[in-house]
């Protein structure tokens, strides 16, 4: 996994399967696995929009608003007090739901749970009251470096329906990391590369072989499979040759 994940992300993926207590067969659905491993529940709503999530939460006695105009989304993570809900568009095709769920698991582990657990380890259990917005921090708890990235409110992350690029580099980095964790959960790089035939002379053939396998055997949606195949091949020095790169740049 070192070719694909940083150490923190690698540890998160390994921890997920340790907590799960079993390793899921491919293609992975992850719904049973996440129920075993994490304090997360998966909620599927048809044609998911932000107001649908707000209404669902209100029916369950949670007063929460996104504070913006409603819009359609593929998925959403809502986390508070160490627990979380992942909302999915239940009308999306199976491979899209699979990728959305895995992406939100990545956010929960890397952007919510890990920072929270780090703060609790360093500052003690009472800091959870600060992280959950129940009280203001005392002077000794006002350590930005320890609390950065751990909101003292309801934590939310959205999977938008379009493919727009993140506006800020920091946002792109967070989203890219969640994608990498998602792909490592669904199609671990070392497993994929051990199974794939990447002996073809041309990059186009290698890419086609790997993309097809990612879609058919690991259940990835086409856009994710195409991007992942390119990145995996590049990471092991099997990307396009200089000549192929030159030709691609002229297309």
Q: How much is the mean pLDDT over the chain?
A: 85
Distances in Å between the Cα of 108 and the Cα atoms of 58, 79, 81, 149, 207 are: 22, 8, 12, 12, 31
List CB contacts of 57: < 8 A, sequence separation 6 or more.
63, 64, 78
Cα separation, 147 vs 136, whole angstroms: 13
Map residue 80 onto helix, strand or coil: strand
Alpha-helical regions (H) of the chain: 7-20, 31-37, 50-59, 94-107, 114-123, 127-131, 144-147, 169-186, 189-195, 203-216, 222-235, 242-249
Task: Report residues of the chain scoring pLDDT below 70.
Answer: 1-4, 139-154, 161-171, 242-251
pLDDT the model gives residue 101: 97
Q: What is the side-by-side strand order in the sheet with 40-45?
A: 40-45, 83-89, 73-80, 155-160
């Amino acid at each position: 996994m070192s070719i694909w994940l940083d150490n923190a992300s690698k540890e998160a993926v390994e921890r997920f399967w340790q907590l799960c207590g079993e390793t899921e067969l491919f293609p992975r659905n992850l719904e049973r696995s996440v129920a075993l491993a994490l304090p997360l529940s998966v909620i599927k709503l048809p044609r998911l929009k932000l107001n649908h999530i707000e209404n669902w939460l209100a029916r369950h006695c949670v007063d929460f608003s996104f504070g913006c105009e409603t819009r359609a989304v593929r998925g959403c993570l809502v986390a508070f007090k160490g627990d979380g809900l992942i909302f999915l568009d239940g009308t999306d095709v199976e491979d899209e739901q699979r990728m959305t769920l895995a992406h939100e698991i990545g956010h929960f582990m890397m952007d919510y749970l890990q920072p929270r657990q780090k703060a609790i380890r360093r500052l003690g259990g009472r800091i959870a009251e600060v992280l959950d917005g129940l009280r203001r921090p005392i002077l000794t708890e006002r350590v930005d470096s320890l609390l950065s990235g751990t909101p003292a409110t309801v934590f939310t992350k959205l999977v938008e329906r379009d493919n727009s690029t993140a506006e800020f580099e920091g946002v792109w980095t967070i989203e890219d990391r969640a994608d990498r964790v998602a792909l490592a959960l669904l199609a671990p790089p070392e497993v994929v590369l051990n199974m794939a035939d990447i002996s073809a002379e041309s990059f186009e053939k290698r890419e086609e072989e790997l993309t097809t396998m990612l879609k058919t055997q690991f259940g990835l949606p086409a856009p994710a499979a195409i991007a992942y195949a390119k990145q995996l091949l590049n990471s092991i020095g099997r990307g396009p040759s200089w000549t192929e790169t030159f030709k691609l740049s002229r297309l």
